[in-house]
Amino acid sequence: MNKTDLLAIGHTALDYIIQVKEFPEANSSTSINKMKTLFGGAAANVAVVASTLGLKVSLVSAVGSGFIDSDYHNKLKDLRIDTQSMIVIEDENTPTAFVLTDNEKDQISYFYWGAASEFKNSEVPYNAIEKVEAVHLATGDPGFNSRSGEAAHDSGKLISFDPGQDLHMYSEAELKDVLKITDILFGNHHEIKRIQEILNMNIDDLRNFGPEIVVTTYGKDGSRINSGNEIRIDAVLKETVDPTGAGDSYRAGFLNAYLRGEDLEYCGKFASSVSSFIVEAEGCQTNVPDENMVKTRMNDMWP
């Protein structure tokens, strides 16, 4: 399998990280103490990390017209990520997340789908799919993911799937449609448990239904890879500044190693090492390591 070909489908988003002293009551206001604009979106996070690790990556997201030639778009192009099949929606904004944190470290978040609301009306990116060896379906519209997954499956592509926080948007039928053509399923332990509850399946049932490999992440407690037997991978623990994006980077690291033909235990260790860099800085794409950095940390953890 050619390690240089991965297509990520799903959200590209702007993240506004806002700090306030306290949340205002209804019909009142408060001052913002600090605000940063960071680059995010699950599919874009996977694309950025995978590209930095050495894969040749394409990205399909629904974005607003203002995204074209923006700082974010230019960053993707600098990383040689193919954005030719991006879905550009005129008179709409690129999906945007607003994350507000007060002095007590409590958070309130808002997510504006914006252009991504048009995923459901968009054509499957057949040309982008045909060019690659593997397709990663990240957070995004269930119908678009299902249709894109079917096209990838019909073309014999490896398919990985991570519904993430959009899991609640999938009906049981839509979830089954995607899972039955999935090769690798990613999720945190809450998401994998919820999938099992929706489908009334244990891990073995789930694997027999669709994904040959089920990868479950547990934060600081590591991850587990099920492929008939269970492989447990320790987390590479580092001081955590911001855990956001750790899961996306884990998926990018896992796919990087898997597409290079590594065994599943190596894939898990490599992925765990990748995600340990992301949590050390604020933002999903701020502290992205290259392959040599990851291997050094991995070898320190598992000599």
Burial of 299 (C-beta count, 10 Å sphere; 0-12/13-18/19+): exposed
pLDDT at 107: 85
pLDDT the model gives residue 245:
86
Residue 146 near residue 122 (C-beta atoms within 8 A): no
Tell me, yes or no, if 204 is annotated catalytic. Answer: no
In Å, how far are 102, 142, 146 from 84, measured between CA atoms? 40, 22, 21
Confidence at residue 117, expressed as pLDDT on a 0 to 100 scale: 96
> What domains appear along the chain, each with residue ranges and CATH number?
6-11+42-86+120-301 (3.40.1190.20)
What's residue 2's pLDDT? 43
Q: How many CB atoms lie within 10 A of CB 92?
A: 20
Q: pLDDT tens digits for the chain (303 residues)?
A: 444 489 999 999 999 989 999 999 999 999 999 999 999 999 999 999 999 999 999 999 999 999 999 999 999 999 999 999 999 999 999 999 898 999 988 889 899 999 999 999 999 999 999 999 999 999 999 999 999 999 999 999 999 999 998 999 999 999 999 999 999 999 999 999 999 999 999 999 999 999 999 999 999 999 999 999 999 999 999 988 878 789 999 999 999 999 999 999 999 999 999 999 999 988 889 899 999 999 999 999 999
User: Quick one: 64 exposed, middle or buried, by C-beta within 10 A (0-12, 13-18, 19+)?
Assistant: buried
Among 5, 248, 290, 300, which one carries the catalytic annotation? 248
Burial of 228 per CB tally in 10 Å (0-12, 13-18, 19+): exposed
Please state the pTM of the whole predicted model: 0.93
Residue 201, both tokens = 């399946």
